Amino acid sequence: MELKTRNLTLGYDKTIILEDINVTLPKEKVTILIGSNGCGKSTFLKSMARLLKPIDGQVLINNENIFNISTKKVARELAILPQSPYAPEDLTVFNLVKQGRYPYQTWLNQWSGEDEKAVDYALDKTGILNLKDKKLSDLSGGQKQRAWIAMTLAQQTDIILLDEPTNHLDIKYRIEVLDLLKTLNKVENRTIIMVLHDINLAFRYADYIIALKDGKVYSQGVPKDIVNEDLIRDVFDIQSKIVTCPLFKTPTCIPYQNYD
């Protein structure tokens, strides 16, 4: 399943946010979008998920314009987890995750054994099968985020899009969620595309980085090939020293303003 953009221009009320974007998202890899606040990361993700229509250009899935495909068909190809998703706190984990089966249901076939298996599979893969009858209000932050990820897994799509999946989580739960996503990518060959503000975690978990700046793609590629002090200065407007993480051998950014 290939997802790419062709001369994509995005914006709101005639205000251009991103212009002439051409990227091909690597299949079966983890791609992470980085950039300063307001640079268009979430806007880009929304368009790839068919939630925001382009001003110009195309989003293509298997070379077909995603906006020419029915909503249900798109939902069988890719799943999106938005930033700060909402559900009633008295909803059980099972009832949340089962909503991921909506694309496969019809008026005549509301629920099936296959749906049940898909939900149990998603709960098991995210390590929360034992929490299926718990209310969302009874979960920790990390458990709740796993439940949302399980909902996207229940859709059984090749591509998963996530907008800041570690938002509002402390460091323990951030690592827990990102480890889970990396495992899903490696074991199940899921293509994962996400926005992260924590650039060091982005450099650790990404197979591919897309850095946005001034409405354009500033740089894209494998982290070790593109991450340097110039990228950090130009994209985030701050000085830095890039070193190699002793544990993961990935680039690590040490930012600073003044250093004597």
pLDDT digits over 165-183, tens only? 988 888 998 999 999 999 9
Domains and CATH numbers, the chain: 3-225 (3.40.50.300)
For position 107, what pLDDT does the model report? Answer: 67
For the chain, what percent of residues have pLDDT higher than 90? 82
State pTM to two decimals.
0.92
What are the tokens at 71?
């909503």
Residue 138 in this model has a pLDDT that exceeds 70: yes
For 203-259, write each residue's pLDDT tens digit: 999 999 999 999 999 999 999 999 999 999 999 999 999 999 999 999 999 999 876
**∠ CA 79-28-127, rounded to 5°:** 60
Q: For the chain, what is the mean pLDDT?
A: 93
Alpha helical stretches, state H, 92-244? 93-97, 113-125, 141-154, 171-188, 199-205, 223-226, 229-236
- Helix (H) / strand (E) containing 41: helix 41-48
For position 64, what pLDDT does the model report? Answer: 95
